[in-house]
Amino acid sequence: MIKTTFTPNGRIPAILSWLTALLLVACTWAGESTPLLLAAPPEGATQALPRESALHLPDARAWELQPEKADAWLYAKAIQYRLFWPAQAPADAQTLLYLIDRDGLWYQALAERPLAPGTNTFTVSLEPGAALWQPVGHAAPWHYRARITPQTAGLRLFGHTSFAGTCILLSAALIGEDAPPPPTPDPPFWGRPDDSAGNSCRQGDKEGGA
């Protein structure tokens, strides 16, 4: 607990310190992201992004993605990924996210626009009922349970125009975690308003020792 004198010179710094601590808690909690790593089955090794990958369109290219800790899916509100697309690459290439849930049901979310030259950033909601997530081979709508410890998840790139070259998967992350916030700091200790002994209220200070 933060303790301070009841005098203005002691009170104002305490208020500022407390507000600063609250701001740090808010910034730490809000907008957190969990990086997704490239999985390399069957060994199960993971690799951090960015990663340059060879393309042989119209053959599709896929990357399996996973967080370091599986429970990160529980608090994620969206997936965001960034991909660098070369200028000479075809303009009809697209990406989609796929996810096979714990019950073996397949869902996929097609990006709303094709890849453009340069850095492309896509953010796909994971909230229950998110419109982009479509069931494949079943009729169950996208719901909260679908994102709980999925069997596998990843990104797929495809197109109809032939192309041999490379692209760079710059990053992928689970964002907007909604985990319980960390504890907030206690407010400053003001003491009793009726304590007028030198207009001071330092806890533990008593005249004559003790």
Give the pLDDT confidence of 88-134 residue by residue, as tens digits: 999 999 999 999 999 999 999 999 999 999 999 999 999 999 999 99
> What pLDDT sits at residue 195?
47
Domain ranges of the chain: 1-30, 32-175
User: CB–CB of 154/37 below 8 Å?
Assistant: no
- Percent residues over pLDDT 70 in the chain: 67
**What is the dotted CATH code of the domain comprising 32-175?**
2.60.120
pTM: 0.68
**Does residue 197 carry a pLDDT above 50?**
no
